[in-house]
Amino acid sequence: MIAPPPPALDQWAAVRDLLHVRGMRWTPQRRTLVEILAKSDGHVTAVELIERCRIADPTTTASTIYRTLEMLEELGLVRHGHGPEGRQEFHVLPDRDHGHLHCEICGQTWELEATEAKGLVGALRRARGFRVDLSHVTIVGRCASCVEHNLERASTT
Amino acid sequence: MIAPPPPALDQWAAVRDLLHVRGMRWTPQRRTLVEILAKSDGHVTAVELIERCRIADPTTTASTIYRTLEMLEELGLVRHGHGPEGRQEFHVLPDRDHGHLHCEICGQTWELEATEAKGLVGALRRARGFRVDLSHVTIVGRCASCVEHNLERASTT
DNA sequence: CACCTTGCTGCAAGGGGTTGCAAGATAGGC
DNA sequence: GCCTATCTTGCAACCCCTTGCAGCAAGGTG
């Protein structure tokens, strides 16, 4: 009841050591991205990250960001999924495993908790031995409010 | 017990009339793509379609194919989804609504029948009023055989 | 059959994302 | 503090896909 769980910041501070242990290097570019990520919550697209990094350092190049994100994913610090248009989205420090719900009319996105998907995940595991990677799942459809207002499918899907 | 259901071909033959009715035109480029689609089963990527069309007509351009596919989707003759890499995949003549299961290790894809997803679809509808568009869903994970052989996540995700 | 309206095509350019490679920088050893 | 092995970066090029636009052609009309 006394000590709160260690703040996420600690995990980011430890990134440098995580890299060192593996013989990887701590470069200004990586530091910039890690700092941006530490300030980000929830979901960010790769393009957003590139833009934010360019504010901190205008010389930022996209390929470096993509490669660094890939590396951070291997360390388990971020997790990427594909949004409705197939664009990459990153979840920072994915503590709870979750998927996404996306409305194809209004474009909003919600998190899909593991408990909600439990049925499907369990069924696929039992019936096919298939292990679902929830963080990679985006369920597309129409949200309650768009259904209610009887909005039709927009141009983009 | 006598008459089999009308072959899919009939639907393709009718495309021309479908277009006429809407004041749209029946062009050689559209005819080529429709012929290719009539010969295709299951899932095809956009790139595959472009390649096949170029065999029939080397002057085929990608933008025309993408625009024609979009049009055919509005007519309900194809349906597109996003594969694991975010690339577009098309289902031809989607009679049964289904999603996809994709193994991130071996890259294989299976169909996810509506019955299997019923639980999730129903739960989301009850809890959130969210109507799932199954054809747009790709569930990523590891298939039984890859789990069994203890294969680790490959480079690509 | 020639004409005209309007939908369609092809091009070129741009955006998101990936990759090969040569040049550059980290960090360990001396 | 310098040197070097090797990991990273930045560049350029490429792939998939989308879009604006000018010119073309389908197909209805007289």
The string of pLDDT tens digits covering residues A94-151 is: 667 788 888 877 777 888 888 888 888 999 999 999 999 887 788 888 888 888 776 6
Q: Which of B102, B100, B105, B99 is nearest to B132 (CA)?
A: B99
In chain A, which residues have their Cβ closer than 8 Å to the Cβ of B128?
Answer: 101, 110, 143-144
Whether B89 and B45 have beta carbons less than 8 Å apart is answered as yes
CB contact under 8 A, B148 and A129: yes
Q: Which of B86, B131, B147 faces A86 most closely, judged by CB atoms?
A: B86
Residue A5: the pLDDT is: 46
pLDDT at A7 over 70: no
Taking contacts as CB-CB distances below 8 angstroms, the residues of chain A near B107 are none
Q: What is the mean pLDDT of residues B27-31?
A: 96
- Closest by CA to B116, choosing from B131, B130, B143, B137, is B137
Locate B142 and state its tokens: 């590891």
The residue ranking higher by pLDDT, B85 or A95, is: B85
Percentage of chain A surpassing pLDDT 90?
Answer: 34
Q: Which two structure tokens, joined as six digits, stand for A155? A: 């141009």
Distance CA(A95)–CA(A134), nearest Å, equals 13
Task: Assess whether A45 (CB) lies less than 7 A from strand C.
Answer: yes
Identify the residue whose Cα has the smallest distance to the C1' of D19: B63
pTM of model > 0.85: no
Answer yes or no: do B104 and A80 touch at CB < 8 A: no
Three-state DSSP at B45 gives strand
Which residue reads 């899907």 in tokens? Answer: A157
pLDDT band at B6 (very low <50, low <70, confident <90, very high): very low
